[in-house]
A and B are shown apart, each in its own frame.
Chain A
Amino acid sequence: MSGTSIVKATVDALRVAARNFVKPERITIYYPYEKLDYGRMRGWIGLWTEKCTSCMLCARICPTNAIKMYLAPNNKRYPGIDYGRCIMCHFCIDICPTDALYPTDIKELTWYDYREMVYTPDMEREPPKVQEPYKSVKVVIKYINGVPKKVVQSK
C-alpha cells in the first residue's frame, strides 16, 4: 500500500468507528427486564398420564438416556425425565404415538440440588412455576430501514 492510501484507509477506519459511535446500533436485551419472544422454543417437557400407553418408545429414542420408566400402582410404567441429562431435542415428543408428552417453551429452570432435577411422572403433569422477581416485557427485533431495532410487543 502506498503512502497516501495508507493515510486514506486509516482515516476511513476511524470515520467508520466514529459514525458507529455517534449512531449506535444496539440490540442488547436488558434481561430480566425485557425478554425476547422467540415464537417457538423447545423447552420443558410435560406428560399427561391418561394418554400414555407405556410403549417406552420415548425412553428408547432419548439420545442421552434421560428418560426412565417408573412403575405406577395400576401396573403401567410412566416416563420420568432427568433434566440433568435432557438436551431438549424433543425427540421423545416427536415419537410418542399418542401425544402424551407435550412441549412447552419454559427454559428458565433452576434447581438447588442435582437430585431435584430428576422428575417423576406425577411431577411431570404441570409445568413448573417460574419465579418472576422482575416485571418483564416481551420484545422482538424488527428490521426498520435495514437496521435491527428492539420493539416492545404490546400484547
Chain B
Amino acid sequence: MDLWGLLFSARLWFFVLMLVASGIVLLTVVWFERKAAARVQMRVGPYHVSPWLGGYLQLLADAFKFIISEPIVPRGAHKLLFTWGPPLFVTLAFGASLLLPLTPELRLIKDPNLLPYGLVFSLVVLLLVSIAIVIIGWSVNNKFAYVGAAREALLVAAYELPLVLSVLAMFILYGTLDPLKIVEKQSILVGAMLNPFAFLVYLVATAMATARFPFEIADYEGDVATGPYSDYGGVFLVLSFAGGTYYATFSYSFLASLLFLGGWNLPGFAVGGWPQDILGHLVLAAWVMFKTLVLMFFFAFLRAAMPVLRLDHTLALGWRGLLILGVAAVLWSTALKLAGL
C-alpha cells in the first residue's frame, strides 16, 4: 500500500471530484433559479453580495447566515428523528449519485461486474429519500407537517412505478444495465431521441419526486406552510430544504445524463487508462457535469413559469397519464429491439 498508489487511486479522486462538482453544480443551479425567476418577473434577483459576478456568491452568504443561526428543537418533537432526519436525508440523496460512474475509470465500485447493481441500487436509495421526508414530517409534531408527510407518501406511490417503467424501457432498448456499455451504445442518437416517451416520463417523475414546480405539493407554501420543513430552522433547513431536495435532483439528473443524454461521449475524444491520462478523464467528468447542469437548469426554470398542481390531479396524472406513457415507452423499446436496433 504505497503512498503514490493511494494518492492516485481512482476511487479517491472520484469521491473528491463528486463532492466538489456537486457543490459547484448546486451553487450554480440555485443561482440560476433565483436569477432566471427574477428576470422573468421584472426584478433583479441576487445582486449585492458579488455584483461583478451577478450575485453568484449570494447562496454562500445565505447558507452562512443559516448555519450561524440558533437551531431550535420544538418541545414536543421526537428529538432523535428531528435532529438526525435532515443529515439522513441529504446523505441518502447524495449517496445515490456515488453509485454511478463518472468516467470509465472514475467510479466507486471497483469490480466492473457489480456496476449494473450500482445502477439499480441508486434507484432504491432515491426511493429511501422519500421515506426520509416522511420521517422528517412525522418527527416535527405539527399538524401541517403531518399533512405534508401524508401527501409525500401518496406521491411516492404515484411516481415510483412510471419511473421504474421508464428505466425498464431503456434496459430493454440497450439490452444491458451496465452504465459503461450503455454509454458506449449511445452515439449521436442519444437515449432521449431513441425513446422520447421514456425521457418524458422520467422528467415528469423526477419533478414529482424532488418537489420541483409544478409538483411542489408536499412542501407547498400556500397550504401546509412548507409541510415537513415547517418547523426547521438554521442548519437543519440548509440540510433538508435547500440541500436535500437539490441533491436529490442532482442525483436524478446525473442518472438521466447517463441513461438518456449520452454520458461522457465526446465525439473525437478518446481517453486512456487511469492514472496515465488524468487530464482526459477530468475533461470527460466536466462534460458529464455540464449535461447534468443543463438538465437541472430546465427544472429550475420551471419555477418561473408554472403554478402548482393539486394533489388529486397529480395522483391522477401519475396513475393514469404517466403509467400509460410508461407502458407505451416499454412497447416502443420492444418494437425497436425487434426491428433490429
Contacts and interface: CB of A to CB of B under 8 A. Distances in A.
A28 B306 CA distance: 23
Contacts, number: 30
A26 B45 CA distance: 11
A28 B43 CA distance: 6
A26 B39 CA distance: 8
A17 B304 contact: yes
B94 to A, nearest CB: 30
Q: Is the interface of A mostly helix, strand, loop or mixed?
A: helix
Interface string B95-109: 000000000000000
Nearest to B307: A13
Given A13-B306, A14-B305, A21 B43 contact: no
B60 to A, nearest CB: 22
A28 B39 CA distance: 11
Query: Which of under 10, 10 to 19, 20 to 34, or 35 or more describes the interface residues of B?
Result: 10 to 19
B335 to A, nearest CB: 22
**Interface residues of B, dominant DSSP:** helix
B306 A20 contact: no
Interface in A52-84: none
Interface in B289-311: 301, 304-306
Contact of A24 (B42, B301, B305): B42
A14 B305 CA distance: 6
A18 B40 CA distance: 8
Interface string A110-130: 000000000000000000000
B42 A26 contact: yes
A132 interface: no
A108 B304 CA distance: 34
B285 interface: no
Nearest to B36: A21
B73 interface: no
A22 to B, nearest CB: 8
A146 to B, nearest CB: 15
A26 B44 CA distance: 7
B42 to A, nearest CB: 6
A25 interface: yes
Contacts of B304: 17, 21
B301 A17 contact: yes
B306 A24 contact: no
Interface string A16-38: 11101100111110000000000
B40 A20 contact: yes
Given A13-B305, A17-B304, A28-B43, 11 more contacts: A14-B305, A17-B40, A17-B305, A20-B40, A20-B41, A21-B36, A21-B301, A25-B42, A26-B42, A26-B43, A28-B44
23 contacts: A13-B305, A13-B306, A16-B305, A17-B40, A17-B301, A17-B304, A18-B301, A18-B305, A20-B39, A20-B40, A20-B41, A21-B36, A21-B40, A21-B301, A21-B304, A24-B39, A24-B40, A25-B42, A26-B43, A26-B44, A28-B42, A28-B43, A28-B44
